[in-house]
Amino acid sequence: MSAPPDDCLARNEWICGAYLSTRRQILLDAVVQHLELTFLSVLIGLVIALPLAVLARRWGWAAGPVLAVTTILYTIPSLAMFSLLLPLYGLSATLVVAGLVLYSLTLLVRNILAGLRAVPEETRQAARGLGYGPVRLLLTVELPLALPAAMAGLRIATVSAVSLLTVGAIVGFGGLGNLIYAGMNTYFKAQVLTASVLCVLIAVAADLLLLGVQRLITPWTRAARS
């Protein structure tokens, strides 16, 4: 009987330092793509969600349709979503970004709208009494007070995007999902585990970073808890 190979890659072990050292550039490229596509998706989603939430707050009749449409979009399975968008964007990174943007709208619109609705009416009336117009009222009073709820939605949307992006591997733009998908097809244990762990670390790091930003820009919430 032959002795087992000394190389953990040859033994196909789950934890393998040789995989990290020999595939460093591959892992780095996958992490960079994962971060880029996640950031772009959430940013575009935020740019779309903010005016939708503001309009839904200003015109009460619009809140129901906006929330209904965004909720329906969130219920579509990811594979079906990408398939529906395929005729528009083809096999491209844009396809993945578009899908993630649509998924993020539910979380972002709902939380921003909840934050705007939570602003006390007496606060709005006091600002109007000081001569604040609609735009100034929104930018300097309503949106700052809505930040805690909005940031909570942003954190959830970001973590969800990090996870859902791995499904983009079916079109070749899944970041770390590309490595997970390829590793599962070939039963490459070290690749599957390493890419999965990195994906979890990105999600945790993104959540902690946004939590830190939230605490930094909403100091009054810390004072209220104290």
CA dist., res. 71 & res. 74, Å (int):
5
The pLDDT of residue 5: 58
What stretch of H or E contains 153? helix 143-164
Q: Which residues of the chain have pLDDT under 70?
A: 1-6, 220-226
pLDDT at position 1 is: 41
Complete domains list, the chain, with CATH: 24-215 (1.10.3720.10)
Which pLDDT score is estimated for 224?
A: 55
User: What pLDDT does 87 receive?
Assistant: 86
Question: What is residue 185's predicted lDDT score, i.e. its pLDDT?
Answer: 87
User: What pLDDT does residue 3 have?
Assistant: 44
Give phi and psi for 6, each to the nearest 5.
-75, -25
Residue 48: its pLDDT value, please?
Answer: 93
Q: pLDDT (tens digit, 9 = 90+) per residue, 174-198?
A: 889 999 998 888 888 888 999 999 9
- Answer yes or no: are the C-beta atoms of 198 and 32 closer than 8 Å: no
